[in-house]
């Protein structure tokens, strides 16, 4: 299906906007949970546990969302590779928004006892399924509508959802803390979740206006869609899936340590003001907003691998200085550490969408990219806060957490070199098997 440049450019703008808005809303919901898990969920849903166990249990429920993400990837990507990218994106947005809204209406442990954390876990699991189907569809649609020379930058439109979603969720929480004061832990925490209902309406209105990608439409017209895209992706591209997932350790692990875990560590161990550290974490999002599209653009010019490697090395090098600066308790040093620590993961994250999407042929792209990306959520970000908490409790020092980041970055660097080079790959020339 031949698309003229005028139509392609117009649709690219629509898809870019839909990717940014839609993924921002989904990540708003996902990150909102992480912030609440560090601030109030231990007291609200696990009040009978010790301080340490309450936080650990809250982080375990946080992990449930990551555990569900590959399941969401399997469900939605199979659907997206057979039926269409757009339909999968609309459904995932609805699922995420409804589950988040219901969280704002949950009774706490004091009201219904053990039923409260059970309901929390169920809704968190549904959240994970929703976000698991989001990334692959958004990236695939963005990359397939882009020109050959702008796949990195276009793919980063989906990646921008992370900093925007986190920025918005953290800002809303900070505002609610300020406005509700001591009542935040009583009822103020519900407001950010209830806001999700309004956001999904906005997201749906935008996403319903985009068109299916020309590559997928052509493939469907020619009856070349995969019968079992998940199975075919795993059987046909196992190394690509594993190596791509491992490259995500370098950005996903430090990201959740420097955001979710930091809020707990700073408030409970360093006795830093809750309002200050919540606001300070906003700087991670601000840094990502600038660095992610820049690194993606540079990857279009100088190659995905080169730019990604630079980010991995920077993340590794700064892992020890980061905690050394945070542990001083000095606000200026904490802010500096937060900004610098964000740059490396942001550089890695920028080209990541195109890097992973380019590995797979059109008929398996949604499935293959989704599985690779979301599998990393289990072994990387989902475990990072819990592992960091366990390391701090076991060794009583943040040095072990820094070593954990170093090991993850080293694994990612090795995986990056084992991943077949696909920079500037002309995906339109990928010849999928006729099924």
What are the structural domains, with CATH classification, of the chain? Answer: 5-213+227-422 (1.20.1250.20)
What is the C-alpha separation between 260 and 272, in angstroms, rounded?
15
184 or 37: whose pLDDT is higher?
A: 184
What is the C-alpha separation between 314 and 20, in angstroms, rounded?
27
Among 259-263, 336-340, 375-379, whose mean pLDDT is lowest? 375-379
Nearest alpha-carbon partner for 127 in 411, 406, 377? 377
Place 430 in a pLDDT band, splitting at 50, 70 and 90.
very low
For 267-278, b/e burial (b = at least 16 CB within 10 A) is beeeebeeeebb
Q: What is the pLDDT of residues 61-79, one digit of tens each?
A: 777 877 888 888 888 877 7
Q: What is the pLDDT of residues 396-412, one digit of tens each?
A: 899 999 999 999 999 99
Whether residue 3 is predicted with pLDDT greater than 60 in this model: the reply is no
Mean pLDDT of 165-185: 87
Mean pLDDT of 296-320: 95
- Which residues lie closer than 8 Å to 5 by C-beta, 6 or more apart? none
**The pLDDT value given to residue 62:** 72
Place 422 in a pLDDT band, splitting at 50, 70 and 90.
very low
**The pLDDT value given to residue 76:** 80
The two three-digit tokens of residue 19, written as one number: 């990717």
DSSP single-letter state for residue 363: G
């Amino acid at each position: 299906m031949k698309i003229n440049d005028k139509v392609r450019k117009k649709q690219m703008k629509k898809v870019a906007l839909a990717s940014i808005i839609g993924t921002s809303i989904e990540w708003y919901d996902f990150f909102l949970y992480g912030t609440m898990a560090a601030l109030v969920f231990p007291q609200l849903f696990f009040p009978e546990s010790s301080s340490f166990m309450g936080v650990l249990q809250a982080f375990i429920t946080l992990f449930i969302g990551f555990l569900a993400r590959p399941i969401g990837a399997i469900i939605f990507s199979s659907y997206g590779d057979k039926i269409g990218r757009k339909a999968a994106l609309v459904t995932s947005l609805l699922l995420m928004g409804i589950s988040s809204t219901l969280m704002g209406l949950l009774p706490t442990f004091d009201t219904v006892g053990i039923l409260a954390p059970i309901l929390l876990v169920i809704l968190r699991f549904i959240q994970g399924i929703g976000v698991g189907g989001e990334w692959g569809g958004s990236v695939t649609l963005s990359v397939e509508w882009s020109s050959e020379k702008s796949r990195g930058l276009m793919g980063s439109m989906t990646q921008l959802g992370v900093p925007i979603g986190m920025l918005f969720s953290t800002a809303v929480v900070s505002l609610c803390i300020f406005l509700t004061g001591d009542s935040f832990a009583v009822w103020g925490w519900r407001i950010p979740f209830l806001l999700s209902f309004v956001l999904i309406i906005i997201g749906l209105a935008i996403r319903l206006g985009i068109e299916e990608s020309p590559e997928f439409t052509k493939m469907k017209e020619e009856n070349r869609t995969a019968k079992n895209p998940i199975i075919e992706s795993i059987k046909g591209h196992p190394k690509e899936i594993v190596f791509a997932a491992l490259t995500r350790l370098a950005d996903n692990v430090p990201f959740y340590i420097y955001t979710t875990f930091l809020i707990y560590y700073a408030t409970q161990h360093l006795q830093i003001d809750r309002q200050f550290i919540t606001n300070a974490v906003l700087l991670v999002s601000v840094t990502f907003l600038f660095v992610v599209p820049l690194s993606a653009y540079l990857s279009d010019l100088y190659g995905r691998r080169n730019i990604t490697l630079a980010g991995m090395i920077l993340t590794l090098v700064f892992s020890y200085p980061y905690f050394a600066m945070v542990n001083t308790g000095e606000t200026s040093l904490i802010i500096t550490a937060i900004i610098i620590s964000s740059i490396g993961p942001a550089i890695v994250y920028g080209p990541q969408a195109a890097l992973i999407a380019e590995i797979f042929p059109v008929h398996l792209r949604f499935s293959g990219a989704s599985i690779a990306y979301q599998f990393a959520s289990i072994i990387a970000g989902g475990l990072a806060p819990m592992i960091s908490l366990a390391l701090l409790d076991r060794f009583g020092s943040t040095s072990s957490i820094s070593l954990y980041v170093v090991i993850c970055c080293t694994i990612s660097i090795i995986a990056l070199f084992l991943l077949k080079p696909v920079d500037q790959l002309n995906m339109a020339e990928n010849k999928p098997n006729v099924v």
